[in-house]
Structure 1
Amino acid sequence: MPIDAGSLHYAVGPALALVMLALIALFLRWAFASGSSSGKPVRREELLTPVATLTRRESALALRAVLSDAGIRSTIREPAAHRADVLVFPEDLERARALALSFGGR
């Protein structure tokens, strides 16, 4: 059966493809959003803060264990050789500093 020259059947396929691409783009935007419900970028104050810089990774791991025992979440960053930074969240910074000062593993 021939397609009428005035028919728009030829446009259905590309239109459907464009609609699907738009839906995928919206889904990806939602899935990979920054996590902030207001859409604002994360403020610097919400990021991890260095609490101590140590020369050995083993010392940094020991300090992390002390912080963990106190209920403080932390992580280690190694920006250079023979340097390990212990990072904590800002709300735990004062307690972590007090523990780091009493820590003898430097």
Structure 2
Amino acid sequence: MPIESGSLHYAVGPIIAVAVVVLLGAFLRWAFGGDSRRPRRPAQPADDGLLTKIATLSRRESALALRAVLSDAGIRSTLRSPGPDRTTILVFPEDAPRARELAATFTPPEN
């Protein structure tokens, strides 16, 4: 059966296809999209493993200086930067009391 020249039957198929794609996109956004009204879960604290936190300093240079003081005293230590302007010094538990004493008497260098 021939299609009349003034008929819009040729446009029905693409319109249905576009409608299906739009509805599918809306459903997927609803099903897998994040809920902006729900508060986000705060970040989990990092696992320090066997290490103990002895100090948190705002400047990395100060933390490196304290780490040098601990190293001179024979205490092994490491640094962790959990965020900007925040550096944590970690030591093994058997060295923690002595490291805390040294950290309490430590004065950060001036720039």
TM-score, normalized by the shorter chain, greater than 0.5: yes
The residue number in structure 2 matching 1:77 is 80
For residues 54 and 108 of structure 2, the distance between their equivalents in structure 1, rounded to whole angstroms, comes to 14
Residues 1:57 and 2:57 are matched in the alignment: no
Matched, 1:98 2:104: no
Gaps of 5+ in 2: 1-46
| Secondary structure class of the residue paired with 2:89 | strand
Identity %: 66
Give aligned pairs, total.
63
Q: Which is richer in helix? A: 1
Q: Alpha-carbon deviation of 1:100? A: 0.0
TM (normalized to structure 1)?
0.56
Structure 1: stretches of 5+ with no match in the other structure = 1-43
Whole-angstrom distance in 2 between the partners of 1:62 and 1:92: 18
Cα RMSD of the aligned pairs, angstroms, is 2.0
Q: Which has the larger radius of gyration?
A: 2
Off by >3 Å, runs of 4+ in structure 1: none
Counterpart CA distance in 2 for 1:71 and 1:104 is 19
Partner of 1:86: 89
Where 2:74 maps in the other structure, the secondary structure is: coil
**Shift of residue 105 of structure 1?**
1.0
Q: Secondary structure at the match of 1:67?
A: helix
Query: Hey, what does 1:47 align to over in structure 2?
Result: 50
**How far did 1:65 drift?**
0.2
Distance in 1, Cα, partners of 2:94 & 2:82:
23
